[in-house]
Structure 1
Amino acid sequence: MKLSSSVFASLCLFIELLGIALFLRGFFPIPVKSSLTSKGQLSDLPAEPLAGSSPNSSKVPLPLFKRVVIMLIDAFREDFIFGPNGKRFMPYTRHVVERGSSHSFIAKAKAPTVTMPRIKALTTGSIPGFIDVVMNLNSPALQEDNLIWQAKNTGKRIIFYGDDTWTRLFPKHFVEFDGTTSFFVSDYTEVDNNVTRHLDSTLKRDDWEVLILHYLGLDHIGHISGPHSSLIGPKLLEMDDIIKKIHASLISRESEGTLPNLLVLCGDHGMSETGSHGGSSEPEISTPLVLISPAFERKVGLEQPAVVEQVDLTPTLALALALPIPQNSVGRLIPAVFEETSLREQLRYLHINGHQLSSLLRDSNPNFHKGCIGASGSDT
């Protein structure tokens, strides 16, 4: 039996449309989002589960750190620190990783590995889609629940220097800022000097709790000549000197009886072997995450960095600063940050994170609760 040309053409058209629909469904997946428009509140935190004769508590966990400096180096590949050239190009940072009070991780970013979606992922804990690549050209203000809003809402004073994508996403959140454009990729010097020139005076001041620095020079070098360029080494040495300066300042300002400070060193994404980014190759998605604080035990040698998800930093920083976890966060706590607290406190942190994740799943999937009832025979 032969198909008529019209039937065959219709069948081909149907298959093409089905293929396009499947492609679009995969390329623009429906994100896991809460339908709630309000931001998370400290009053929303669940009470501790009843256990034995001990009374349950609904208190907000106390902050673990007084000040936090987040140093984000654009296109920062994990092998720039943990690889064979780490000791040569970032000697101070590598020493802190091997012998200092720190925790080191390889944080896996999700595609698209472009700056704006990655900033959204770091601050909201959610996973942006490929449509954000287009929005990267003109980033609108971020309305979704995020760490920056939560920190500002609880009275923390935030200062920002670096890529002006942050100032577009968070236009009224910083008490002081100086943004630099990321589109002049031939400039890998002044774009970082514009950030560093503020450091000496800012680190001496006491009128801030969160300092965010976003350095662009390494990314620009990658676009110009790739990750094995002769320009990479000097740029990494420059970043290493800045890390040393920040770390020394935070240590010098520690005082007995006060909370310790925290330095977060991270990247938004890596870079491919050609110096580009945006895809999901291993060099593009593997970024270093180094947490440095006297609150952590001193290391005795180089350990293989554990692998975490980039979005895991969001709930970790939120609870470490006594903030609500952003409602759309899909990240999990990084346990090492809380290992110096009591066992009860560690369980409390995990309980809050688990409650937030289950609330997100229940709110984003109407069939979730019904499925639980059907499987268990009860709604408990």
Structure 2
Amino acid sequence: MSNKVIAVVIDGLRYDKASEALGYIQHLVEANQAAFYKVKSELPSLSRPLYEVLLTGTKASENGITANQIVRLSKEKSLFHLTKENGLRNAAAAYYWVSELYNRAPFDFIEDRLQIDESKPIQYGSFYWEDDYPDSHLLADAESLRRKYNPDFLYIHPMGADLKGEQFGSESKEYREQVLRIGQLLAQLVPIWMKEGYHIVITSDHGMSESGNHGGTTQGEREVPLFIISSEVEPGVYEEEVPQLAIAPLVCQLLEIEPSEKMIPYTLPGLKKEKVIH
């Protein structure tokens, strides 16, 4: 296996619904090919603050991205910055807030939709701004970037589950159907990525409440899944709750680059390498 990483962040995906509805990914867990963890999201359990958490490994009280309405570039060193500094190539197919955090703010809907610029933190980007942009199109955008530019780190961020959750609530037929749909899309691409030797990390920013919102402290809003398909991680289901701040340094470990000074030290259960992420 190479040291290349694909990170999929399924916006608004609850832990329990990932357990129930991501059939192929759960098959990999049962077949002893993937590891499954529960992550407790940072607060506030909102999208833009948690994109920053996932990509920089820093808390909202430290990085200052405390609400969705804060539109500015991040002041922290992200996984995009780190890969670029280490001579690696990165790409992202994501909601436009990710571009606003790391490439340019505010987002220009014409100029910034497609970005090919190796001088920027996100070197190859395809960004969308309508919440109902189909997950199928987003995954196709991501796979196109992967095949064309061969990034060492590819960040993929579909929004469909978050949209259906906010419209209908986490216990609705519509929300579960959307999670099933993203599972079916991943079932078409994950085998390709596995065959080509990628480390694959699948998680979420936040969960969803039964009433269709998030931002608070309930289990449904904070508990999200983490799946890892990697030769560096022992397959299985792990009971120990993983802090969300541990995901960015974990990606650094899989990429075989040093994490930023602000990322927390953490030893992931099942990690084969006997060294602390720091």
Shorter-chain TM range is 0.7 to 0.9
Q: Distance in 1 between matches of 2:99 and 2:222?
A: 24
Match for residue 227 of structure 1 among 134, 147, 170: 170
Match for residue 223 of structure 2 among 286, 293, 297: 286
Q: Distance in 1 between matches of 2:150 and 2:246?
A: 28
Q: Give the % identical residues.
A: 22
Q: Give the structure with the larger strand fraction.
A: 2
Q: Distance in 2 between matches of 1:126 and 1:297?
A: 26
The corresponding residue for 2:113 is none
Task: Report the AA paired with residue 319 of structure 1.
Answer: Q
The corresponding residue for 2:13 is 76
Q: Distance in 1 between matches of 2:190 and 2:136?
A: 19
Going from structure 1 to structure 2, the CA distance change for 1:191 and 1:168 (only over 3 Å counts) comes to farther
Task: Report the AA paired with residue 156 of structure 1.
Answer: L
Cα deviation for residue 304 of structure 1 reads: 5.0
Going from structure 1 to structure 2, the CA distance change for 1:311 and 1:329 (only over 3 Å counts) comes to same
Q: Distance in 2 between matches of 1:233 and 1:267?
A: 15
Cα deviation for residue 204 of structure 1 reads: 3.6
**What is the SS of the residue equivalent to 2:270?**
helix
Going from structure 1 to structure 2, the CA distance change for 1:274 and 1:331 (only over 3 Å counts) comes to farther
Match for residue 33 of structure 2 among 90, 101, 104: 101
Cα deviation for residue 246 of structure 1 reads: 2.5
Cα deviation for residue 314 of structure 1 reads: 1.9
Cα deviation for residue 113 of structure 1 reads: 0.6
TM-score, normalised via structure 2 length: 0.85
- The Cα offsets for residues 219-243 of structure 1, whole Å up to 9 and x where unpaired, read as 1111111011221232112211222
Cα deviation for residue 296 of structure 1 reads: 4.1
The corresponding residue for 1:253 is 196
Going from structure 1 to structure 2, the CA distance change for 1:191 and 1:247 (only over 3 Å counts) comes to closer
Task: Report the AA paired with residue 111 of structure 1.
Answer: L
Q: Distance in 2 between matches of 1:325 and 1:295?
A: 17
Please provide the CA RMSD for this pair.
2.2
Q: Distance in 2 between matches of 1:210 and 1:132?
A: 23
Match for residue 95 of structure 2 among 163, 170, 175: 163
- Write out aligned runs for 1:1-380 (5 A): 65-82=2-19, 86=20, 89-129=21-61, 132-134=65-67, 136-171=68-103, 172-181=120-129, 184-185=130-131, 187=132, 190-205=133-148, 207-254=150-197, 261-299=198-236, 303=237, 305-337=239-271, 339=272, 341=273, 346=274, 349-350=275-276, 353=278
Checking the alignment, whether the CA contact within 8 Å between 1:101 and 1:295 is kept in structure 2 is: no
Cα deviation for residue 191 of structure 1 reads: 4.1
Cα deviation for residue 324 of structure 1 reads: 2.0
Cα deviation for residue 209 of structure 1 reads: 1.0
Task: Report the AA paired with residue 179 of structure 1.
Answer: F
Instruction: Extract unaligned runs of 5+ from structure 2.
Output: 104-119
Higher relative contact order (CA 8 A, sep 6+): 2
**What is the SS of the residue equivalent to 2:65?**
helix
Q: Distance in 2 between matches of 1:138 and 1:224?
A: 23
Cα deviation for residue 206 of structure 1 reads: 5.8
**What is the SS of the residue equivalent to 2:60?**
coil
Cα deviation for residue 161 of structure 1 reads: 0.7
Q: Distance in 2 between matches of 1:96 and 1:240?
A: 12
TM-score, normalised via structure 1 length: 0.64
**What is the SS of the residue equivalent to 1:198?**
helix
**What is the SS of the residue equivalent to 2:202?**
strand
Cα deviation for residue 105 of structure 1 reads: 0.9
Q: Distance in 2 between matches of 1:305 and 1:162?
A: 30
Instruction: Extract unaligned runs of 5+ from structure 1.
Output: 1-63, 255-260, 354-380
Cα deviation for residue 122 of structure 1 reads: 1.3
**What is the SS of the residue equivalent to 1:276?**
coil
Task: Report the AA paired with residue 65 of structure 2.
Answer: D
Cα deviation for residue 335 of structure 1 reads: 4.1
